[in-house]
A and B are shown apart, each in its own frame.
Chain A
Amino acid sequence: MKSEPEVRTHLARWVAERSRSVQAEEISGNTPILERRLITSVQVMDLILEIEQLSGRSIDVSRLKPGVFKDIDTIYRNFFGGPSS
């Protein structure tokens, strides 16, 4: 499994590739991904698949809570079991 910095960098790049408005370096841990619409609602499912692949754990979509994909800090805390920075 990738280290925390690698996961964060991977997620920032993944989001930036789908966003037409920001570069990966501009996405910090608390950049709001959905609020700023860096990815669209349809891409949320792709994000779930990406997180599953990265973490090696499946995500039960029916149990997702509001705000779990707010930013990279929150994603890391919720799906990779590490502390937020």
Chain B
Amino acid sequence: MNPGSEAVAGLRTRDDGHAVLSGPLLAASRRVDGLFAKWSARWNAEEWRFPAVLPASQLDRLDYFRSFPHLVTFPVVLDDAPENLARLVSGPALGDDGAVRLPATAPVRDVLTPAACYHFYVELAGARLDQARHLTTVASCFRREKFYRPLFRQWNFTMREVVCIGTLEEVASFLSSFRELLTGYFTAAELPVAWQEAADPFFGGAANPKFIAQMVDPVKTEMVFSSELAIGSINSHRSFFGETFGITRGDSPAFSGCVAFGLERWLYALLARFGPDPERWPAALWEAA
């Protein structure tokens, strides 16, 4: 699909690389998320909803700022001293370059959610699980990128995740069963998606020990549409989150894994595959689930 070359019913695009959805495409996005929810129901995944912000102190426990400083987005508010606020009020709000002329800011203590599932481990810190837990959430996520393109690569995008926290075997079984389910779906829906091992985009690339570790021990497998775009991924976290947040399964640190879907990217793939009018997409797309 080449956005702009063909009118898409219910899609507007912004110069900053974001998509605005309405009408048929918004309805389609709800149906697509409905697919994810339907799949998550096979594991009776409990749905949670989180705020858009995560405490920076929690992300720091994951070494996030050293691993992904290039992706992070901070919510910033102003120092609320009246004289400081008056500085913004008294002059032009924007400079010649279009950037806001910020006066003093308050200390930044939060991060805009970079990945939906992080919230679960924060909330379940210290939990002792006597059986595997399956959870799901959909979140508005933020990742700074080198370029943006509506639906394809957005700063602010929607991520649905289905998470399993349990023993190594429970998580491995969840991930392989989910992969099998999706493989069947892609075939039945005639979506050209291939599984491809990948690594997270660690800062420093090949010079980062964590990147090298993922290279020799792949923990991420992406669903790549048409050899072009990852529309989701299956991730094994080993016991990283269990150890970091003190979550145990039995007497040992819990293992975890997740299946993540990028909602806008799914829309991109469906538009590219089935055309610009979501109301004319094949029924098999919904029925195959």
Give A residues with C-beta under 8 Å from B. 21, 34-37, 40-42, 44-45, 61-62, 64-70
Contact of A66 with B218 in the complex, beta carbons under 8 Å: yes
With A62-B206, A66-B197 already in contact, 10 other A-B pairs whose C-beta atoms are closer than 8 Å: A41-B209, A42-B209, A42-B210, A44-B212, A44-B216, A44-B217, A45-B209, A61-B206, A66-B215, A67-B217
Bitwise, B185-227 to A at CB < 8 A (1) or not (0) is 0000000000001000000001001101111111000000000
- With A61-B212, A64-B212 given, is the CB distance from A34 to B252 under 8 Å? no
Chain A interface mostly helix, strand, loop or mixed?
A: loop
Contact of B215 with A41 in the complex, beta carbons under 8 Å: no
Cα–Cα distance between A75 and B81 once the two chains are bound (Å): 61
Residues in B neighbouring A42, C-beta threshold 8 A:
209-210, 213
Q: Is B50 an interface residue (CB 8 A)?
A: no
Cα–Cα distance between A41 and B238 once the two chains are bound (Å): 10
Determine how close the nearest CB of chain A comes to the CB of B90; give it in whole angstroms: 50
Number of interface residues of B (CB under 8 A): 18
> How many A-B pairs fall under 8 Å by CB?
52
Contact of A37 with B216 in the complex, beta carbons under 8 Å: no
Determine how close the nearest CB of chain A comes to the CB of B143; give it in whole angstroms: 21
Which residue of chain A has its CB nearest to the CB of B202? A41
Residues in A neighbouring B238, C-beta threshold 8 A:
34-37
Determine how close the nearest CB of chain A comes to the CB of B89; give it in whole angstroms: 48
Which residue of chain B has its CB nearest to the CB of A70? B217
Which residue of chain A has its CB nearest to the CB of B168? A36
Identify which of B209, B217, B238, B243 gathers the most chain A CB atoms within 10 Å of its CB: B217
